[in-house]
Every structure is written in structure tokens, then in C-alpha cells.
Chain A
Amino acid sequence: MEAIRVEELTRRYGGVDVVDHVSFRVPEGKVFGFMGHNGAGKTTTLRMLLGLCWPTSGRGEVLGCDIVRESLAIRRLTGFLPAEYSLPREMTAVQFLHYVAAMFDMGSGESRRRVAELVELFGIGPYANRKLASLSTGMAQKVGLAQAVLNRPRLLLLDEPTAGLDPLGRHDFLQYIRGLARDEGVTVLFSTHILGDIESICEDVAILHQGRLLAAGQLAALKAEHAAATMDDLYLQLVRRPS
């Protein structure tokens, strides 16, 4: 069963194809690495999957739902942590999580229970009632992740989630993501340009460069196919290969 399937997905901005006829499939229950330089088209692809912007051509399905016609259903089943975001300064973490719960039409009892679980799970407790403006980057990222998993998503889309984290925060984060896939069967689309992150938690990858898909498949198989010892080698070989 596939969590994501896209075919010939294209998005054009001002005459430039920032996503150019991209096709790939993401198996369910895995952490799938979505790799590429900044500007490779990863963020635009993720946004199209969620209906935040629309494809110029091509088609896609997320959890069996069409990305153009059924984006609301998709968003009910998924969680998203954008690459660049900030949290509402005037709210506390708890207020913010309750606000997000309201977006899922959660009743107040259910919302209270889920928010309490997340506060416990992410160790937000000591900061739960402080204004979000005063939180450190690492703590804000925990709140960001908490909002992304608030609805117990079947699919989690993470866009450059470890970019601002310190080594310890990054380690904990990756552990959590690995646990989600392993223990709860959540599919994770992990978009990053940090090759070490991909190598440490992903079995399957897609590699994007200048809007085009260079390769997709099992990481081990791709490495073997290109005789690459490491993820770095594989990536460099692919992006330097004449198109």
C-alpha cells in the first residue's frame, strides 16, 4: 500500500518549472527521505501534496485521496511541519495547541486530553504556559512538532525539521520520528538537505535537483547501483551527472 503516489507532478512559477514532471511513490509505514538542495523543489512538492498550492500539471494521491479535489480529507489525515514558520507570539503553547485542536473540530474534552498527552510527551510542561515568543528554538520546534502530530496523523510531512536544532535536540527528534514509524506505523516524508539525517533514519529516498527527480527507491539499492559507499557519494554522483 502506498501513502503517496505522484505522477508527472509539475508546478510552474513565472515561466520556470520549480517542480518538473516529478513521479515517485512512498510506501506506507516507512520514513521516506526527500532529499535535495535548497531550491530543489521539495517544499513546493510538499505544499502541493497538502493543497497549499496547486499543480500546474500532473496528478497525485495522498492516502488514496486526490491532492486537488480531496485536499481537505488529506489534511484531516496528515500532519505538517513547515521549514519556515513561527508560532503565534501572543499565545502560550497550551493555548496554541488547543487552537490547532479546534481546527480539527475536536471537542473540548478530547482537546484537553490530547494536549495534556503532547505536553507530557514532548516535555513542554515547564514552558506550557509561557508565551511562545519567549521559547528557545528547540522548545519552539517541539511545540511545532506537537501541533503536527496532534491529530494522530497517518502521514507526517516534515520540511527541513532538524535545520535549527542542536545535536542533542536533533538526536531526540530523529529518535522520535523513527519511533513513530516503527511503533505506530506512521508514514513520514522527511524532506531535508542534511544527508546524515537521511542516512540515519530512512530506508527509502527520492532525490530532487532543480525541480527534477534524479532517483527514487531503496537507499541501499541506490547506493549499490551507483557504487556509492556513503549517502554523500551517492548524492554528489547524481547531481553532477550530466542530464
Chain B
Amino acid sequence: MPPLLRAEYRLALARGPALPLLVALANLALISWIIPRLPAPVLDFLRHAFHVQTMADLVLLNDYIAIYLLLYLPGAFALTRVFVRPAEEHELDLYLTKPVTRRHYVIARTVPTLTLTGASGVVLALVTAAKVTVLHPPADALAVFTAVVTLTALVLALLALLNVVYLHLGEVDNALLVASALGLAPLIPGALFLYRPDLLTDPLAAALLVLPANLLWAPAWMPTIALASVTLAAAAITGLLHLAARRLEQHPRL
């Protein structure tokens, strides 16, 4: 591993990646406590609205939203270290005048965040699968595990995209607003499905877009979907990392 990348991994680990993970785990526990205690009409409404059946599904519906946000937001904040914060705090010249190409700089600063986000996703996948199997049986542990892996792949691809967007922003506050809007965008079709199902009558469109309920609709297919998602995300991340590096190389202000 190149020394710069190693140094960045050390820094990323020193920033305490376990804390967001612990918050996510606490949220999973809270959801498992709250959802089964909701009145029956509320649960019936959710079952009907999101086309799910079991208590495990209802818990997972909320788990997936929490996991998605709690993987995405810390990643989005951490990625401001690539360009936005150094630009705002006038540190970028300091780094870019060292004998390191901008491509290597982008990769060294981005990859540890993506790796740690991915690792957190795998931990959450294991915990969620174990949780619903034990607390809300019957549940398909493999489907749950692969659903969270799929969600993680989506988050990683979004973060890689965000990294490119960040290159056009010079202030942390603006960057975080844009990042949050981008992070909430994939959840909009879910709202459409709830309030305007007439706009999502095509089953394929619904299955592709209605996040995170769609992760509950085809449990038998989840391992295949996860494999395809991970492959697609890996390709997207590679492409977007190269794009970010190229954008930084051609950045008009540097």
C-alpha cells in the first residue's frame, strides 16, 4: 500500500469510525423496540402502503432507512476532507505542492472513507440479519444480509458521485447542504409510492425505485441483486474516482 494511502487510513481510523456505527446500532435497537409496540392500525397501514407482510418486514423497512442515512451522512461529512475543507481552510496548496499527483491525492483521501463505510455496511448487514432472525422471526437472514449489502453498495456509489460534486464547492456548509439533498433524493420515490401510487404503476419501475421497500419485495432474489449491485457500484466508483481525479487535475482555481 502506498505510504500516503496508509497515512490516510491511519487518520481515518483515528477519527473514530466506530462512533457512527454505534449510533446506527443504537438506532437498530430502538426500531426493534418501537415498531412492534405501535398500535395495530398503524402497522396495518404500513403493511398495506408498502406491500409488506411480516413484523420483520416492518422493522426492516425502518432499519433500512436508518442504515442508509447513517452510512451515507458520516461518509458525506468525511469526504469534505478531500477538497472542500482543505480549500476553505487554505490547506490545499500545501498538499498539492508535494510530489504527489492529484490523482493519487484524490484516491488516497477518498478510498479510506469508502472502505470504512463499506466495512460498516457489512457489520450492519450481519447485525441486522441476526437481529431480525432472533427478535422478529420468521425472517430470511440471507435476504436481509444481502439487502443491507445492496444498500451499502448504493451508498458507496452515491458517495463517489458526491465526491465529484464536491469539487465544485468551496465551502463546507454549502457542500453539506448539497450532500444532504443528494442523500435524500433516492428516498423520494418511496414517498411517491405512498402518496401517488398512480405515478408508479409499472411494477418494474416500482421495484427499481421504491427504496427501501423494494429490498423487501423479492427476498429470494436479494443475493443475486446484491451481487449485481456490488458489481455495478464497483464499476461506478472506479469511474467516478477517475472523474474526480481528472476534475481536480483540470480544476480552474488550482
Report A's interface with B, CB cutoff 8 A. 86, 89-90
Contacts and interface: CB of A to CB of B under 8 A. Distances in A.
- The contact size tier of chain B is under 10
Contacts of A90: 171
Nearest to B90: A86
A86 B90 CA distance: 9
Interface of B: 88, 90, 170-171
5 contacts: A86-B90, A89-B88, A89-B170, A89-B171, A90-B171
A237 to B, nearest CB: 36
B171 to A, nearest CB: 8
A67 B88 CA distance: 33
A1 B170 CA distance: 49
A89 B90 CA distance: 11
Nearest to B89: A86
A136 to B, nearest CB: 14
5 shortest A-B CB distances, which residue pairs? A86-B90, A89-B170, A89-B171, A90-B171, A89-B88
B4 to A, nearest CB: 26
B6 to A, nearest CB: 28
Contacts of B170: 89
Contacts of A89: 88, 170-171
A90 B90 CA distance: 14
B88 to A, nearest CB: 8
A89 B89 CA distance: 10
B243 to A, nearest CB: 26
B175 to A, nearest CB: 14
A90 B170 CA distance: 11
A89 B170 CA distance: 10
A27 to B, nearest CB: 38
